[in-house]
């Protein structure tokens, strides 16, 4: 009976267009949801059936609703996002350090060194003057304190990252566990749920913000997540968690990979975790070494010159600075020699002329322009290492902007494919609404035709 068939066809159309409205509504509702890929109801013509030798179509079927996305583009955007997050995290850490040493207005070690050398010039001009001696000790005290501050700040900046590393690692573990859970739920359902797939993609993107990674998608729908450096974080419904272990005052990241413990600290170099590790183990570590080396060389040279002279008590061979024992940071633990006083400050070279001789003070003051620290004047060497640090902070900020821009562009490209456009959805809504109304008309028409036939009987 063709008439009933028309009604059936109308019903199919009604259902299909309802699904269209439903899908459109879902898209509109999720316009601001991160990680949501817009959906599209996939229509196809229903299989034809025979009526009196005719092959007539059965209308429309909704095959599925599919997510609209470009997997390769997503992977690429995710990779670039890892890089951008890494650059930003590194730049943020270095910006904190910049506040500690970037002083250009006279509060830094360069200014303290200038003060110290000025006090030595004054001592050389008036070696007999007790206030000149007191002044040398005072400026030397300020110089050591400023250098101690640099050493301490660099150590603390690195140690303070422990908490951030722990937080990021536990977040990676949590996200990994959720991906593993979704993996098992996705393989259980026959028809892949778009929501679960979206959610899993979003979780993987969030892991990627913390560490660079690669995904391997299997035929059964499982996704394996492999972190930078080769550690498999998620395999099937199993997560192999990262572990934070103490390494002296700092922390390292390890993971048990199939029973083999491996250190990932030097492997993770992108994502916010990678950025933090890079800032800690490359930038700040290099600056720390440079500051320590500077202090060691400078204090050793100064001590050698000081030992050659004689104090007001006629004795010589004494140190001016006290360097810590090897292994400790010379910047953080540099002190003035505990025995140092106005009387032991060695301005004289001739032990018989101790009260008026300034020859050794001249040699101490001349250190200002002697190229004794890696072939440079001490002030230039100090400013050089500050500049090296500044270069790192500056380039990390520039990289953060450039990488962020590239990531933004890829995200936009991704959005251009998968993002919801309200205008488009409104147009679709109108289209489905009209088609729905037309489908309803089909049913009414079929009904009227049926009524007409029933009326024949009266």
Partner 1 sequence: MRVSTQMQFSLSVRTVNQRQSELLRTQEQIATGRRINSFAEDPVASRKVLREQANLRQVESGRRTSGDAQLLLENAESALIGVADALQRAYELNIQLANDSFDAPQRRSGADEIRQIREQILSLANTERNGRYLFSGLGNTADPFQLDGTFNGDAGRLTVPVSRNTTVDATVAGGEPFLDAAGGRNTLESLAELEDALRANDSVQINAMIDEMLGTLERSTAARQQIGQRLQRLEFVDDVLARTELAANATLAVERDTDISEAVIRLRESESGLQAALAITGRLDDLSLLNFI
Interface with partner 1 includes 443 (CB under 8 A)?
A: no
Interface with partner 1 includes 423 (CB under 8 A)?
A: yes
Q: How far apart are CA 177 and CA 179, in angstroms?
A: 5
- Binding residue (CB under 8 A) for partner 1 from 422, 437, 438, 453: 422
Interface with partner 1 includes 156 (CB under 8 A)?
A: no
Number of Cβ within a 10 Å radius of residue 66: 14
Interface with partner 1 includes 375 (CB under 8 A)?
A: no
Number of Cβ within a 10 Å radius of residue 382: 24
Interface with partner 1 includes 313 (CB under 8 A)?
A: no
The token pair that represents 435 in the structure block? 């088609």
Q: Closest separation between CB of residue 393 and partner 1, Å? A: 3
Q: Closest separation between CB of residue 90 and partner 1, Å? A: 12
Q: Which span (40-48, 136-144, 220-228, 416-424) binds partner 1, by CB under 8 A?
A: 416-424
* Residue whose tokens read 């500077």: 294
Interface with partner 1 includes 380 (CB under 8 A)?
A: yes
Interface with partner 1 includes 134 (CB under 8 A)?
A: no
- Binding residue (CB under 8 A) for partner 1 from 17, 59, 74, 115: 115
- Binding residue (CB under 8 A) for partner 1 from 412, 437, 438, 448: 412
Residue 37: which residues within 8 A CB-CB, separation 6 or more? 67, 68, 69, 194, 198, 201, 418
Query: Which among 255, 224, 260 has a CA at the least distance from the CA of 242?
Result: 255
Interface with partner 1 includes 124 (CB under 8 A)?
A: yes
Q: How far from 380 is each of 99, 120, 127, 454, CA to CA, in Å? A: 21, 18, 27, 106
Interface with partner 1 includes 415 (CB under 8 A)?
A: yes
- Binding residue (CB under 8 A) for partner 1 from 17, 358, 360, 400: 358
Query: Which among 144, 204, 133, 209 has a CA at the least distance from the CA of 175?
Result: 204
Interface with partner 1 includes 288 (CB under 8 A)?
A: no
Q: How far from 435 is each of 19, 220, 424, 442, CA to CA, in Å? A: 11, 37, 16, 10
Q: How far apart are CA 23 and CA 34, in angstroms?
A: 18
- Which residues of the shown chain bind partner 1 in the complex (CB under 8 A)? 31-32, 38, 94-95, 98-99, 101-104, 106, 108, 110-111, 113-115, 117-118, 121-122, 124-126, 128-129, 348, 350, 352-353, 355-359, 362, 365-366, 368-369, 379-380, 383-384, 386-391, 393-394, 397, 408, 412, 415-424, 426-427, 430
């Amino acid at each position: 009976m063709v008439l009933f068939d028309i009604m059936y066809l109308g019903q199919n159309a009604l259902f299909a267009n309802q699904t269209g409205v439903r899908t459109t509504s879902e898209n509109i509702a999720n316009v601001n949801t991160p990680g949501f890929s817009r959906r599209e109801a996939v229509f196809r013509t229903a299989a034809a059936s025979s009526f009196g030798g005719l092959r007539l179509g059965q209308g429309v079927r909704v095959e599925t609703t599919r997510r609209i996305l470009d997997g390769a583009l997503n992977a690429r955007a995710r990779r670039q996002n890892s890089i951008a997050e890494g650059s930003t995290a590194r730049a943020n850490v270095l910006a904190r350090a910049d506040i500690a040493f970037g002083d250009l207005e006279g509060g830094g070690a360069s200014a303290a060194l200038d003060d110290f050398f000025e006090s030595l010039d004054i001592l050389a001009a008036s070696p007999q003057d007790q206030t000149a001696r007191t002044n040398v000790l005072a400026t030397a005290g300020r110089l050591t304190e400023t250098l101690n501050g640099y050493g301490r700040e660099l150590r603390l900046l690195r140690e303070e990252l422990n908490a951030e590393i722990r937080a990021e690692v536990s977040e990676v573990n949590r996200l990994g566990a959720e991906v593993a859970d979704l993996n098992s739920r996705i393989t259980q359902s026959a028809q892949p749920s778009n929501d679960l797939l979206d959610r899993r993609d979003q979780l993987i993107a969030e892991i990627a913000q913390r560490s660079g990674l690669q995904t391997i998608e299997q035929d059964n729908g499982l996704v394996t997540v492999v972190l930078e450096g080769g550690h498999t974080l998620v395999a099937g419904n199993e997560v192999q968690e990262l572990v934070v272990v103490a390494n002296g005052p700092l922390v390292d990241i390890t993971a048990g990979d199939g029973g083999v413990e491996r250190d990932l600290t030097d492997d993770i170099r992108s994502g916010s975790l990678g950025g933090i590790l890079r800032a800690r183990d490359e930038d700040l570590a290099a600056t720390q070494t440079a500051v320590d080396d500077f202090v060691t060389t400078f204090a050793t040279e100064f001590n050698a010159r000081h030992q050659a002279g004689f104090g007001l008590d006629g004795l010589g061979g004494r140190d001016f600075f006290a360097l810590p024992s090897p292994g400790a940071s010379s910047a953080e633990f540099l002190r003035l020699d505990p025995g140092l006083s106005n009387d032991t400050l060695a301005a004289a070279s001739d032990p018989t002329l101790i009260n008026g001789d300034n020859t050794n003070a001249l040699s101490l003051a001349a250190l200002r322009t002697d190229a004794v620290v890696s072939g440079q004047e001490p002030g230039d060497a100090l400013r050089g290492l500050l500049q090296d640090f500044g270069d790192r902070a500056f380039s990390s900020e520039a990289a953060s902007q450039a990488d962020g821009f590239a990531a933004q562009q890829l995200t936009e490209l991704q959005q251009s494919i998968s993002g919801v456009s309200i205008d488009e959805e409104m147009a679709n809504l109108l289209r489905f609404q009209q088609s729905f109304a037309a489908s309803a008309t089909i049913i009414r028409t079929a009904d009227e035709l049926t009524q007409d036939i029933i009326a024949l009987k009266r």
